[in-house]
Amino acid sequence: MENTRNTIQKKIIFNTLKSMKEHPSAQEVYEKVHEKHSTISRATVFRVLNNLASLGHLNRLRMPDMPDLYDYKTTGHYHIKCRECNDIKNVEVEFLNDIDKEVENDSGYKILNHNLVFEGICPTCQKDMDKK
């Protein structure tokens, strides 16, 4: 049974995450939490985020050469990452559930999930590149 403090901390951390930009890192969540709740430790924030992700209440995005990022949107969706500024956004295109079965049939693996990240140059960085 969870104690009350732990439940309150989880709510604070989860609500803070939801109020932030899309896909913050654990460190960014900690810094935002710490602004209003200085008694919540960095270790607690990291532990709660990992726990919420393992329970399926958050998505953990693992990106090469970046810290893990967290996403409160747990329904199937894709992401796009700017190669210049590393900004990551949700892509609102249809999630391909059937691809899991196709890969299972082809590979023999039991597919649990799939993640797809498109890479490109965001409109802001494109404008900056045009100025140079």
- Cβ atoms of residues 123 and 131 within 8 Å: no
The full 3-state SS of 36-87, as one line of letters, equals HCCCCCHHHHHHHHHHHHHCCCCEEECCCCCCCEEECCCCCCEEEEECCCCC
Q: Helix 4-19 vs helix 42-54: angle between axes, to the nearest 10 degrees?
A: 80
Flag whether 37 is marked binding. no
Flag whether 34 is marked binding. no
Dihedral sign for Cα atoms in the order 121, 65, 59, 24: negative
Q: Which residue has the tokens 């059937």?
A: 98
Flag whether 23 is marked binding. no
What residue numbers does the annotated binding site for Fe cation cover?
114
What residue numbers does the annotated binding site cover?
82, 85, 114, 122, 125
What residue numbers does the annotated binding site for Zn(2+) cover?
82, 85, 122, 125
